[in-house]
Each structure stands twice: as structure tokens, then as C-alpha cells.
């Protein structure tokens, strides 16, 4: 009997049609929204004009569809073999903007080529996905070891540092690289790292929202209670002392002024910040009085417990003061304004064209759409250009105004459908490289959608980050097409890996 063998291959037509369809749908919806933002009744067919955003986006759509075809015709092993080369190349592109780039909206993160601008950060995201997948899938990598963790952290922190406010001043792009922590968790990084991360984030936000001395006073109280809870017979005395301390903290400026007058010191001659700093003194005294006697009992377990919590207290207090100083002293005024608009909206001045203006009109545009929206090309705030950067960072406002709650919900559902599909593709891969790469893609897309949608509604600060496939911009569309295209190529050859 003659048996025939046939090598199983998957040509370009083997792409996952659902993922490809969701990608194409989002790109087309994005172009329609960009057309709505730039629509001119006097020139209804101007979408072929490369001098406006609609024409440029249509041009880049054609380029990306052609690029997608080329990727599907490529050898799937090419992306794994040259992952490190692509990553290093993308890293080299980043600092070049400092010398040969162009500053846009305060960020020195763009190249200007002819009539187009190019942002290398979008390529860096793609390169980092490849590099992270290549490293984590290599032999001998174990995230329980320090060496593996340091290298994995360095892969995504290197581009993030270059994009940080200290170098390129591209905070939005730098923040996206936090998404790779989701991949590391999937690959076995201990949950304690994420607890530390959330703790640091909490201290930073508290330090930005409230006066640091009062935050540290609260940390002292929490630490004190946690320590004294080991001695249950002392809790009622501790509670009595803490309740007596509350009015002292609340009326501290008045009490401090009264004490200064008793010492014949004019409170008007004292810096109010110094008075606020002194609010920690009664809490320190209460802390020492309530726990020091127990510490002097020479109990090694009690002393070890105290040292641990004192270290945590010191780190927390340092983060609170450092975050406040870095934000309101080192950052540029427009960056400070964005953070204040997010965390302290009541204290934000009504600047004519600043972050508060953008956020206010963004909310108004989304809210004015109601349930069903005003209709395609009928958005008044979109027509009158009330929201700046509406083709790029605030494209979600156009969806909210013209398509209403139904359109907003539909877009979010499509995005999460795409994310779910990517996780399905990830779990069916035989190759560790392909699986990890797919999760990198899902993480990057998730953070982009979360932050962009959140900042248009005031849930996150306005940091300038595009909505994938929908926001205007050739760099963004090319970057996300590369990311999705390589994923489709790897999945089409999953049985050969």
C-alpha cells in the first residue's frame, strides 16, 4: 500500500478571520470618526486630500493593509529569530528624536519626514513585545530568580525611561509599558511585586492629593494601630488616646497658632508649610508613648515586627513627600495642570485652553450624545471644534456625541471582544514565544484603551495616548498593525512551532 504524506502548512490565508475582522472593523470605524471630525460640507470629498487628517488616515490605512499582507506572506520564524535585533533597532530610534526630532505638544518624541511625522514609540512597543516574548521563552529563564527578573524588567523599563518626562517628555507612551507587568504575572512573577506596586501607587496619589505631613500623620496612626493590635489589653487605651488626637489634627493650624502666641511668637511670621510639617509631632509622640514600653521588653519578635513596620513607614513617607515635590516642583507647568485637573478639579483654574478646558468639553461632548447620539456628521461640538485634538487623543468624544451610549458601548464591546480573542489565540499556541507575544499584545491594547477612554471621562489624567486603530495618526496605526499582523502570522503557523 502506498501512503502519501503531505506537509501541513498554513499560507497567508490561514489568519484567524475573527481577529482580522475585528481589526478591520475598528480601523474603518476609526476612519469614519476622523472623517466626521474633519468634515467640511463645502468639500465633502476631501478625504482624498493628503493635507488633512482624513486623507492622511486613508493613505495609512492602505499602507497598513498592504503591510498586513506582506507580514502574512513572511516566514513566521523570522519574527522570533530577529526579535532582539528589532528591539535594539527600536531602542536606537528613540533617543534620535532628541537630536533630529520635532517637538509636538511639549514632547520631543517625533521625527518629521516630508509632510508626515513619525513617532518611534509605536515601533518600540512592537519591538518590546518581541523581545519580552523571546527572552521569557528562552531556556533557563525563571522569574523566581533575581537575574531573570532584572533582565525582564530592564527590557520594558529601558524604552519607558527614554520616553519619561526626564528625557522625551512623552509620559503617555512611557506609561503603556506598565502593561508588561501583566505578562510577567501570567508567566509566574510573584504577586508580592504587584502588592508593592499598588502600595507605591497609593502613596504617590495620596501625596499628590493631600498635604504630605497630614498623609504621614495618618500613616503613623495606621502603623501604630497595627503594632498595638498585638497587645489586645492595651487597645482600649490606645483608642482613647487616638480619639483625643483627632481634634488636634483637624484644628492643627489654629492650635499651632495659639501655642506660638503663648510663646510670644507671631504666627504670621512663620511659614504655613512649617506649621503643617509640625502636625506630625503629636503623632510621633503618641506613637512613641504607646509602643515604646512594649519595645523595651526585649522581646525579639516584637522588635522584629517593629523594625519591619518602621521600614514600611519610612518608605511610605518618603514616597509621599517625593511624589509631591516631583510633581509640583520638577514637572512643567502644563503637566502639573493636568495632574491637578485629574486629582484636584475644584482647585483647578478655568484656563481658557488648558487641561481643565479639554476635560470639561470632553465630558460635555460625550454626555450630549445621550442614548442614541445626535447622528453621524451631526455632532455640534465636533463641528465647532470645542474639544482640541479630537482626531487623536479625544476621538472617543466624537463617538460619544454622534453615536451616543449605544455607539460607546458597541466600541468598548468590540475592543473587549478583540482582547478576549487574543487571549484565546494565546492559549492555543504550542510555542511559548507565540503565547507570550500574544499576551504582550493583549496587555498593550488593554492599557491603551483603558487610559484613553478613562482620560476623556476624567478617570485618568490627560497624558496624550491614542485609542488603538481609531485615533488619527500613521505611527499609531502602523504600530498596532505590526503588532496584530505578527500575532496573526504566528497563530496561522501554531502547529509548526
Could you report the per-residue pLDDT of 321-378, keeping only the tens digit for each?
898 888 888 777 777 777 877 777 666 554 545 567 777 878 888 888 888 888 888 8
Read off the pLDDT of each residue in 308-315 and give the average, rounded to a whole number: 85
- When pLDDT is cut at 50, 70 and 90, the band that residue 2 belongs to is very low
Please tell me the least confidently modeled range out of 11-20, 140-149, 198-207.
Answer: 11-20
Read off the pLDDT of each residue in 452-467 and give the average, rounded to a whole number: 86
Question: What would the DSSP string read from start to end of 343-408?
Answer: H-GGG----TTSHHHHHHHHHHHHHHTTTT-S-TT--HHHHTT-STTTTTTTHHHHHHHHHHHHHH
Q: Reduced to 3 states, what is the DSSP secondary structure of residue 105?
A: coil
**pTM score, whole prediction:** 0.83
Asked whether the beta carbons of 87 and 158 are under 8 A apart, the reply is no
Read off the pLDDT of each residue in 446-452 and give the average, rounded to a whole number: 94
Choice between 438 and 170, residue whose per-residue pLDDT is larger: 438
Q: Residue 108: what are its φ and ψ, rounded to 5°? A: -90, 70
| Category of 464 on φ-ψ map: left (φ > 0), alpha (ψ -120 to 50) or beta | left
Q: Name the residue among 455, 233, 452 with its Cα closest to residue 342.
A: 455
Q: How far is it, in rounded angstroms, from Cα 383 to Cα 36?
A: 8
Where is 108: in which H helix or E strand? strand 107-113
pLDDT at 50: 75
- Angle of helix 252-262 relative to helix 235-250, nearest 10 degrees? 80
Q: How far is it, in rounded angstroms, from Cα 387 to Cα 359?
A: 8
349-354 long-range CB contacts below 8 Å, 24 or more apart? Answer: 353/388
- When pLDDT is cut at 50, 70 and 90, the band that residue 286 belongs to is confident
Q: Is the pLDDT of residue 9 over 50?
A: no
Q: Is the pLDDT of residue 238 over 80?
A: no
Q: How far is CA 427 from CA 135, 171, 421, 424, in A?
A: 19, 32, 10, 5
Cβ atoms within 10 Å of 59's Cβ, excluding its own? 14
Task: Please give the grid coordinates belonging to residue 393.
Answer: 487623543
Asked whether the beta carbons of 91 and 127 are under 8 A apart, the reply is yes
Average pLDDT, the chain: 83
Which residue's entry shows cell 525563571? 142
Q: How far is it, in rounded angstroms, from Cα 480 to Cα 493?
A: 20
Q: Residue 66: what are its φ and ψ, rounded to 5°? A: -65, -40
- State pLDDT tens for residues 68-97: 999 999 888 899 999 999 999 999 988 888
pLDDT-above-70 percentage for the chain: 88
Read off the pLDDT of each residue in 416-434 and give the average, rounded to a whole number: 94
Q: What angle do CA 165, 170, 174 make, to 5 degrees?
A: 90
Q: How far is CA 1 from CA 5, 65, 438, in A?
A: 13, 47, 43
Q: How far is it, in rounded angstroms, from Cα 35 to Cα 58?
A: 10
Beta bridge partners of 116: 113
Task: Please give the grid coordinates belonging to residue 487.
Answer: 500575532
pLDDT-above-90 percentage for the chain: 32
Task: Please give the grid coordinates belonging to residue 217.
Answer: 500623620
Task: Please give the grid coordinates belonging to residue 407.
Answer: 455607539
Q: Reduced to 3 states, what is the DSSP secondary structure of residue 72?
A: helix
Q: How far is it, in rounded angstroms, from Cα 416 to Cα 426?
A: 15
Q: Reduced to 3 states, what is the DSSP secondary structure of residue 111?
A: strand
Q: How far is it, in rounded angstroms, from Cα 347 to Cα 494?
A: 55
Please tell me the least confidently modeled range out of 10-19, 126-135, 159-168.
Answer: 10-19
Contacts of 335 (CB under 8 A, 6+ apart): 106, 165, 171
Question: What would the DSSP string read from start to end of 241-306?
Answer: HHHHHHHHHHTHHHHHHHHHHHTT--GGGS-HHHHHHTTHHHHHHHHHHHHHHHHTT--HHHHHHH
Choice between 37 and 51, residue whose per-residue pLDDT is larger: 37
DSSP label at residue 466:
P
pLDDT at 268: 67
Beta bridge partners of 113: 116
Cβ atoms within 10 Å of 63's Cβ, excluding its own? 14
Q: Name the residue among 346, 411, 354, 340 with its Cα closest to residue 387.
A: 354
pLDDT at 5: 37
Beta bridge partners of 278: none
Q: Name the residue among 471, 482, 436, 469 with its Cα closest to residue 126.
A: 482
Amino acid at each position: 500500500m502506498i501512503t502519501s504524506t503531505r506537509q501541513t502548512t498554513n499560507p497567508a490565508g490561514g489568519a484567524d478571520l475573527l481577529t482580522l475582522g475585528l481589526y478591520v472593523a475598528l480601523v474603518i470605524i476609526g476612519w469614519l470618526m476622523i472623517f466626521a471630525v474633519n468634515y467640511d460640507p463645502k468639500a465633502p470629498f476631501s478625504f482624498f486630500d493628503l493635507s488633512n487628517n482624513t486623507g492622511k488616515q486613508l493613505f495609512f490605512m492602505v499602507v497598513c493593509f498592504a503591510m498586513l499582507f506582506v507580514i502574512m506572506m513572511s516566514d513566521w520564524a523570522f519574527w522570533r529569530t530577529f526579535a532582539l535585533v528589532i528591539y535594539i533597532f527600536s531602542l536606537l530610534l528613540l533617543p534620535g528624536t532628541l537630536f533630529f526630532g520635532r517637538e509636538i505638544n511639549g514632547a520631543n518624541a517625533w521625527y518629521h519626514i516630508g509632510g508626515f511625522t513619525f513617532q518611534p514609540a509605536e515601533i518600540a512597543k512592537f519591538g518590546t513585545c518581541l523581545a519580552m516574548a523571546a527572552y521569557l521563552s528562552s531556556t533557563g529563564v525563571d522569574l523566581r530568580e533575581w537575574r531573570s527578573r532584572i533582565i525582564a524588567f530592564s527590557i520594558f523599563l529601558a524604552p519607558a525611561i527614554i520616553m519619561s518626562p526626564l528625557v522625551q517628555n512623552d509620559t503617555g507612551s512611557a506609561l503603556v509599558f506598565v502593561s508588561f507587568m501583566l505578562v510577567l504575572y501570567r508567566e509566574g512573577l510573584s504577586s508580592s511585586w504587584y502588592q508593592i506596586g499598588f502600595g507605591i501607587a497609593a502613596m504617590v496619589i495620596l501625596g499628590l492629593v493631600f498635604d504630605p505631613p497630614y498623609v504621614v500623620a495618618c500613616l503613623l496612626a495606621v502603623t501604630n494601630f497595627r503594632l498595638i493590635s498585638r497587645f489586645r489589653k492595651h487597645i482600649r487605651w490606645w483608642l482613647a488616646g487616638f480619639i483625643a488626637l483627632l481634634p488636634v489634627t483637624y484644628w492643627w493650624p489654629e492650635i499651632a497658632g495659639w501655642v506660638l502666641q503663648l510663646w510670644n511668637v507671631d504666627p504670621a511670621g512663620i511659614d504655613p508649610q512649617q506649621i503643617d510639617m509640625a502636625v506630625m509631632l503629636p503623632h510621633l509622640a503618641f506613637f512613641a508613648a504607646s509602643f515604646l514600653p512594649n519595645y523595651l521588653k526585649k522581646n525579639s519578635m516584637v522588635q522584629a515586627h517593629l523594625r519591619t513596620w518602621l521600614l514600611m513607614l519610612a518608605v511610605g513617607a518618603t514616597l509621599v513627600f517625593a511624589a509631591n515635590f516631583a510633581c509640583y516642583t520638577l514637572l512643567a507647568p502644563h503637566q502639573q495642570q493636568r495632574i491637578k485637573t485629574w486629582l484636584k478639579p475644584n482647585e483647578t483654574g478655568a484656563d481658557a485652553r488648558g487641561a481643565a478646558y479639554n476635560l470639561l468639553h470632553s465630558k460635555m461632548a460625550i454626555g450630549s450624545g445621550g442614548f442614541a447620539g445626535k447622528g453621524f456628521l451631526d455632532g455640534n461640538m465636533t463641528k465647532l471644534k470645542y474639544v482640541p485634538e479630537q482626531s487623536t487623543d479625544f476621538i472617543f468624544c466624537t463617538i460619544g456625541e454622534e453615536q451616543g451610549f449605544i455607539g460607546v458601548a458597541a466600541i468598548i464591546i468590540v475592543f473587549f471582544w478583540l482582547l478576549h480573542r487574543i487571549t484565546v489565540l494565546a492559549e492555543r499556541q504550542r510555542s511559548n514565544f507565540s503565547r507570550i507575544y500574544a499576551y504582550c499584545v493583549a496587555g498593550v491594547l488593554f492599557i491603551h484603551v483603558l487610559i484613553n477612554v478613562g482620560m476623556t471621562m476624567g478617570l485618568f489624567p490627560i497624558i496624550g495616548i491614542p485609542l488603538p486603530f481609531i485615533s488619527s495618526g500613521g505611527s499609531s496605526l502602523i504600530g498596532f498593525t505590526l503588532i496584530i499582523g505578527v500575532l496573526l502570522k504566528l497563530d496561522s503557523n501554531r502547529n509548526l512551532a
